[in-house]
Amino acid sequence: MVGGDPTPVPGRFDGDTALVTGSTRGIGAGVAERLAAEGANVVVTGRTAEAGEAVVERIRDEGGSARFVRADVRDPDDVAALVEATVEEFGGVDVLVNNAGVETDTAADEATMDDWEFVLETDFRSYWLCAKHAFAEMDRGAVVNVSSNHAVLTMPEKFPYNAVKAGIDGMTRAMALDFGPNVRVNTVNPGWVAIDRTTGEMSDERRRELEAIHPTGRLGTPADVAGVVSFLASDDAAFVTGANLLADGGRAAVMQDDTLPDYRRRRDGD
């Protein structure tokens, strides 16, 4: 449906196994639910068992196949055990979605070593380690790294988050070369996505302001990102690897925040 929520493609991943990191909530949960709706056996993972089991229950209630495996992807031993558990449960790995992420509201001259290590170990090193371990179990398939539009444009006090997101795009290109030809690797770069962390305490006025600076006229949803992840992981993207795909509602096309609302008011004669 044009303009509606992305619609799952039944059977797209029948018989495949998908491992989705950071999938106990937000974008990751949306991705896990989408891949399960398309037939994949899904491993949901994160640090909070209660939240992870809730995602698994929603998937199973819809007729899907899923299991929760607790892991802290900052721990290399946990990463190795996570992939091993996935293989033991479902026989292999066909799709890896690296999604685990954290951020700190710090500037480059204010960030501490603790900030640096917290973000890099979660958002960057874990992507490499998960991909490295998963690749050893993949005869074919796809890796999708979830980055951010902060990789190409950013705001103050988002360091080292913004630097790491740009690094993920570079990591994707390196992996595409080294994991090919049978395993493709791509990045999706979401923009503003309405989840508890980003909009949970946002005022209605602020949300309307943000919606107005998007050509789509709205913020994204986990389902929007999940639809792009599904495409990149599927055979529909069989000739796509080493690519970065912005899913930001057109935000990167706007040079100044006031341009689009002012233009629309003039166009509509208000």
* Residues noted as catalytic: 161
State how far Cα 30 lies from the chain centre.
Answer: 9
Q: Do the beta carbons of residue 193 and residue 219 sit within 8 Å?
A: yes
User: What is the CB neighbour count within 10 angstroms for residue 22?
Assistant: 26
Of residues 164, 70, 74, the one with CA closest to residue 118: 74
Tell me the HSE value of 221 on the side-chain side, using a 13 A CA sphere: 12
What is the 8-class DSSP label of residue 10?
T
Distance in angstroms (rounded) separating the CA atoms of residues 60 and 211: 34
Whole-angstrom CA distances from 246 to 138, 198, 211 are 26, 18, 17
